[in-house]
Amino acid sequence: MKKRLWRDFLILLVLFLGVWIFFVYFPIVDSDEVKVTYKYKENEIKQKLIELMDFKQADSDTTQLLRSLGELKHLVSDKDVEYELYYSDNREINAYALPGNIIVLNRGIILECDTPEELIGVIAHELGHLKMNHHSDQLITTLSIELLLVGSGSTASEVTKILTQNAFSREMETEADDYAIKKMKELGISPNYLAKLFKKMYKRSDMIPEFLNSHPGMNERISKFSKFPYEESKLTYTFDWLQVKNSL
């Protein structure tokens, strides 16, 4: 079953790259029809990737975890960005945004968050990347080529590494941080919650996550979030955060 999924996925990648090459290098075919085809193939690849990586979508009623993540997703919303939030049963402390307006939260990052407010900050940061359109067509194509070169023998961990190793620029990270601050303040959450999360992981060097370690100026970013006074969040939830974490 997995081999068949990989075969279909690689075929989609080849088709996607073909459309992209024509779209970029042959302006004469820069038509609405080509753009629609490009978007359609991108969505197909996204769905196949979700299936291959066994991502679980928030908003599902199947588990307490997915219901609680769905609740957080509805809190961290933006009228200009329709995104999908997914859970990955990966112990690595990581979170990342992907082309196709996807945000993925690993099991590791959820367990590391002492409060839902900390996780809200993580989601808001990743949403900032989507909001600012930091995933360019070039990045999408780079990911496609790398996945294509890896081939059908790759493991889920290898694919995850490919998806997360394309670091954003310092300017992009600053923009995403500023967006997270703005979004948290709108929700009545002190951005200091993110500083608490980052400091906690930074004290244990072996716990520094890839998504934090690869971002430039980590100390500078922690200082930025620390400037906001810590205030207990007044948000209420339909779930108990400790129970959610214990279910993992």
Full pLDDT tens readout for the chain, 248 residues: 555 554 555 545 555 555 444 444 445 444 455 454 556 566 776 777 787 778 999 987 789 999 999 999 999 999 999 999 999 999 988 898 887 889 999 999 999 999 999 999 999 999 999 999 887 554 555 555 555 555 555 555 555 665 555 567 778 888 999 999 999 999 999 999 999 998 888 776 555 555 555 454 678 888 999 999 999 999 999 999 999 999 99
Rounded (to 5) percent helix, strand, coil in the chain: 65, 5, 30
Collapsed DSSP state (helix, strand, coil) of residue 55:
coil
- HSE, CB side, 13 Å, CA atoms: give it for residue 71: 17
- State both tokens at 237: 């939830």
What is the pTM (predicted TM-score) of this model? 0.78
